[in-house]
Chains A and B, each alone.
Chain A
Amino acid sequence: MTEEEKKKRGFFQAIKEFVYGMAAHDSYRFAMKTRASMEHLFILITMGDMLGVPILPPYYSLRLLPYVVPQISTWKRRMLREKDFTDGLA
């Protein structure tokens, strides 16, 4: 690759990232945020009894436990922190 080509490529890369930042990054973040909420909802449904919310017999939810081990602590924190909008009125 010549010096010229490298410059060109760097320029295009910059444009690409700029356009991505303008147009798509917010959507990307939104998608990931929604995805994370759903992940927490999913853990709540399957592992709810960890918070004292038994949803269903735990035999099969135990099967899923290994996959959510890394998320458990952030999930617990979030579930216990999350507030209803009515809390703001009080």
Chain B
Amino acid sequence: MIDIPLADIFEKYPDRRYIMFGGKGGLGKTTFSAATAYYLAKKGKKVLVFSVDPQASLTDIFERDIFGKGPTEIIPNLYAQEIDADRRVKEYQEEIRQKIFDMYGMNKIPEEIESYIQAAAAEPAMEESAIFDEVVDIVVKGGYDYYIYDLVPLGHALYYLSMASVYDAWIDKITGLREQMREYDQVAAVMRREKELDEDAILKELLYIKERIHKSSSILTDKEKTAFFFVLTAEEMIIKDTLKAAELFAKFDVPLSGYIINRVLPSDLKGKNIPEYLKNRLAMEEHYLRVIDTTFDKQILASVPEMERDVTGLAMIEKMAKAMFG
């Protein structure tokens, strides 16, 4: 059933410092992120687990209000962080306004510009982009042995990944345009026999943006340093969706490390005097576990039982870590 134990992956590839759990919503990504962080912290590694989801739930699982408070120590070596995207967007807007004041010595932002600044912040992609940008800050800053991304559900995660490549191509295009514009400036300057041109501030800004995007997409696709795990359960639709998503992720060059099955019913239920309903569930599960076995051949890293209650608080997280890593 289990092909390579999850703990072995961490032993074997100590360089894989960026850990991600992906999967559909509600399958246990946050639970696994927290449990893995707990396991690594107990082994003496300094770990930061952070959420890239605007609807983050690390606060709930650790039973500590960490929203927007920066990295918060939960137990020794284990830090958790939830990004307050809203606040970041607001601060960012203020930064832009300040820059306009400074550059033009205005005492009021022109109405057109102000309404654009406000409209831009209302865009749905704004929150994601703001988080995306903050993750770069977190990773660039360093200071931890492991970074565990508590990812958003699949669709969003794909968006997040594709955003990196779309941005990349987009920035390349406009940087090219900008450089062409500069050539025309130069031609004009030569004809007028003017001296050196000023540095193109926009071009500089574009190159900065490009570097930021490169940084985050290079981490997501770094085979040496990143481990991406898929979480799934023994159900038909979930198996199908996971397969589809895995193909898409592979297309974006995300290095897949393997699959973890969650919510497996305790096997000692079998043979006991249990109601028809549970018998059916067990039979169905057995069937789909076999499907998983053949579909994701040799890539199953752990099979985690359904717990007797939901996983919140350190005691349950510890139990979960045991179930995952043995």
Please give the residue numbers on chain A whose beta carbons come within 8 Å of chain B beta carbons, in ascending order.
Answer: 20, 24, 27-28, 31-32, 34-35, 38-39, 41-42, 45-47, 49-50, 54, 56-70, 72-73, 76
A65 to B174, CA, bound (A): 15
Tell me if A35 and B205 are in contact (CB < 8 A).
Answer: no
Please give the residue numbers on chain B whose beta carbons come within 8 Å of chain A beta carbons, in ascending order.
Answer: 92-93, 96, 99-100, 103-104, 110, 112-113, 116-117, 119-120, 123, 125-126, 128-130, 132-133, 163, 166-167, 170-171, 173-174, 177-178, 180-181, 184-185, 187-188, 191-192, 201-202, 205-206, 209
A20 to B184, CA, bound (A): 18
In the bound complex, residues from chain B placing their C-beta under 8 Å from that of A56 are: 166-167, 170
Q: Given contacts A28-B191, A38-B181, A62-B117, could you give 14 more A-B pairs where the C-beta distance is less than 8 Å? A: A31-B188, A31-B191, A38-B184, A42-B174, A42-B181, A56-B166, A56-B170, A57-B125, A57-B128, A57-B163, A58-B129, A67-B103, A68-B202, A72-B112
Distance from A56 Cβ to chain B, minimum over Cβ atoms (Å):
6
A50 to B116, CA, bound (A): 6
Q: Which residue from A41, A49, A59 sits with its C-beta under 8 Å from B130?
A: A59
Tell me if A65 and B113 are in contact (CB < 8 A).
Answer: yes
A34 to B99, CA, bound (A): 29
Tell me if A65 and B100 are in contact (CB < 8 A).
Answer: yes
A69 to B166, CA, bound (A): 26
Q: Is the interface of A mostly helix, strand, loop or mixed?
A: helix
Q: Which of A24, A31, A73 has the most CB of B within 10 A?
A: A31
Question: Given that A38-B184, A60-B129, A72-B113 are contacting pairs, would A49 and B201 also be in contact in the complex, using a CB cutoff of 8 Å?
Answer: no
Question: Given that A31-B188, A65-B96 are contacting pairs, would A49 and B174 also be in contact in the complex, using a CB cutoff of 8 Å?
Answer: no
In the bound complex, residues from chain A placing their C-beta under 8 Å from that of B125 are: 57-59
Closest to B100 in A: A66
Tell me if A38 and B177 are in contact (CB < 8 A).
Answer: yes
Tell me if A69 and B181 are in contact (CB < 8 A).
Answer: no
A47 to B117, CA, bound (A): 11
Tell me if A31 and B187 are in contact (CB < 8 A).
Answer: yes
Q: Which residue from A32, A38, A66 sits with its C-beta under 8 Å from B96?
A: A66
In the bound complex, residues from chain A placing their C-beta under 8 Å from that of B103 are: 66-67, 69
Question: Given that A42-B178, A62-B96, A69-B104 are contacting pairs, would A57 and B191 also be in contact in the complex, using a CB cutoff of 8 Å?
Answer: no
Closest to A55 in B: B170
Tell me if B120 and A67 are in contact (CB < 8 A).
Answer: no
Q: List 8 A-B contacts (CB under 8 A).
A: A24-B191, A42-B177, A56-B166, A56-B167, A59-B92, A59-B130, A62-B117, A72-B110
Closest to A42 in B: B177
In the bound complex, residues from chain A placing their C-beta under 8 Å from that of B178 are: 42
Tell me if B188 and A63 are in contact (CB < 8 A).
Answer: no
A56 to B165, CA, bound (A): 12
Question: Given that A28-B192, A63-B209 are contacting pairs, would A57 and B174 also be in contact in the complex, using a CB cutoff of 8 Å?
Answer: no
